[in-house]
Structure 1
Amino acid sequence: MRVVRAMLVIAAASSLAGAAAWNYAVGWHPSTGEYPIQGIDVSQETGPVDWLTARARGVDFAYVRAIRDGTRRDRRFQSNWAALGEAGMRRGVLHQFSLCRPAESQADAFVTFVPRAIDALPAVLELDLDAGCAARPDRAAVLAAIRSFLAVVEHHTGSPMLLKISEPFEQAYPVSGAIARPLWASQDFFAPLYLARPWRMWQASTIRRIDGVDRPVHWDVVAP
């Protein structure tokens, strides 16, 4: 019986330690002393957001996905975009690039679905390897497609886009050293080092929980 009780005590302690670690992880964000400007990026997967509550919990800005899979409008884009404007928050849009869609079609979708807004933050091109797209063109073709997309969209927005590049995409198609645009890197908890140039923004967590949102959010900081 003593052995059993000891095992139960150890199991309970491990469970409590695990719960404490998880609670810390989902509440963590980089220091505001080091990174004063912090925000989130959201998509239809995030679900509804109470933007006034989010702002009160330290969200300085928000990026909302406008286009997914290259040409499809995110289902929550319009409602998020309008609500952010009503809340008086700084807002920007993200376009999820697809290796399975022509760059021209993707640029047309962006111009069609994303309104010009003089108060908008610079738009973002998300570059990641999508398991739902099996196409893997060679690097020259990918860089040409990205440049073609940027030429059209930047004419529409009037400002250079940021490139949000995942580590797998950067490894497959080294982009950060080839296209001179501000960079956005992604890595949970530890500042990323995989890009060829310093990043302007960092997605520091994909599991942060905040009041005003039922699901985890992507938490982002701006380089000081």
Structure 2
Amino acid sequence: MASFLLKAAGVLVAAGAIGIGGWSFATGWHPAASQYPLQGLDLPENPGAIEWGTVRARGADFAYLVATSGKDRRDPGFEANWSAVPEAGLRRGAVHLYSLCQPGADQANAFNAFVPRTADALPAAVDVDYRADCTARPERADLVRELRTFITMVETHTRKPVLLRLSKPVESDYTISAAIERPVWATANLFPPAYAARAWRMWRASDIRRIDGIEGPVNWDVVAP
């Protein structure tokens, strides 16, 4: 009996070690830089304190920051991070979290009023996903029309084409990438996504990566070569 318990304990220890090792690999993984030379991260709302110099030293070339959500929410950390990112040697881009419950023009006005037009900025991104604070599911034609209005207004402000960051559920329901010809930013952990109607230009390859300089998991992205 004692021998059996010792063997069982050894198996559990080994399984635990494998589990810890697997999790460590997953949280440290990113696509090979030899295949995807341009890599960076995107932050959620209210990301907290960030050591941008350390983030740059860990291999980030760029950072996308949430600026606005819907027509009436501004991220409180955006302005400070927007200034700090280029000082650390990274390129910067702004993200708008699109609401299916509000007119595209109102949301574009909110974004344009808050995000400065700067020559060094990356193209703005509009994130289209289902969100807990909005249960609306508009008709496809209505959503595409409102998104086009948003995109036209933002591109007039920034003078650069907008990136479409499309979640798989929304793209599956609406096939937005087939209706609006803009660069696609797709998301899928570990394996390159193929759910959009067109090839992705940017890929969020991990939402669990851990790097020095940021507390908690990081959304890690790569640009198509």
TM-score (ref. length: structure 2): 0.96
Which residue of 1 is the match for residue 134 of structure 2? 133
**1:207/1:218 contact within 8 Å kept:** yes
The residue identity in structure 2 corresponding to 1:192 is P
Percent identity (aligned): 49
1:108 matched residue in structure 2: 109
Write the deviation string for residues 124-149 of structure 1: whole angstroms up to 9, x where unpaired: 01111112211111111100110011
Q: Work out the CA distance in 2 between the residues paired with 1:33 and 1:88.
A: 21
The 1-side partners of 2:28 and 2:71 are apart by: 32
Aligned residue in 1 for 2:210: 209
Instruction: Tell me the TM-score normalized by structure 1.
Output: 0.97
The answer for unaligned runs of 5 or more in structure 2 is none
* 1:189 matched residue in structure 2: 190
1:20 aligns with 2:25: no
SS at match of 1:121: coil
1:216–1:45 CA distance, 2 compared to 1 (3 A): farther
Q: How does 1:38-187 map to 2 (within 5 A)?
A: 38-187=39-188
Residue 44 of structure 1, CA deviation: 3.2
What's the CA shift string for 1:170-215, capped at 9, x where partnerless?
Answer: 0111101110101111000000010111111000000110111111
Provide the secondary structure at the position in 1 that maps to 2:177.
coil
CA contact (8 A) 1:43 1:77 kept: no
Structure 1 gaps of 5+ residues are: none
2:6 paired residue number: 5
- What is the distance in 2 between the residues matched to 1:146 and 1:45? 25
Q: Which whole-Å deviations, capped at 9, do the CAs of 1:60-88 have from their partners, x for residues lacking one?
A: 11111101245311121111101113223
Residues 77-118 of structure 1: CA distance to partner in whole angstroms, max 9, x if unpaired?
111101113223211100010101221210111011101101
Q: CA deviation at 1:45?
A: 4.3
Distance, in Å, in 1 between the alignment partners of 2:58 and 2:153 is 36
Give the length in aligned residue pairs. Answer: 224
The whole-number CA distance in structure 2 between the counterparts of 1:204 and 1:70 is: 29
- Counterpart CA distance in 2 for 1:3 and 1:85 is 60
The 8 Å contact of residues 71 and 101 in structure 1, kept in 2 or not, is answered as no
Q: CA 1:183–1:217 in 2, change beyond 3 Å: closer, same or farther?
A: same
Runs of 4+ in 1 over 3 A off after TM superposition: none
RMSD: 1.1
Aligned amino acid, residue 7 of structure 1: A
Q: Does the Cα contact within 8 Å between 1:43 and 1:74 map onto a contact in 2?
A: no
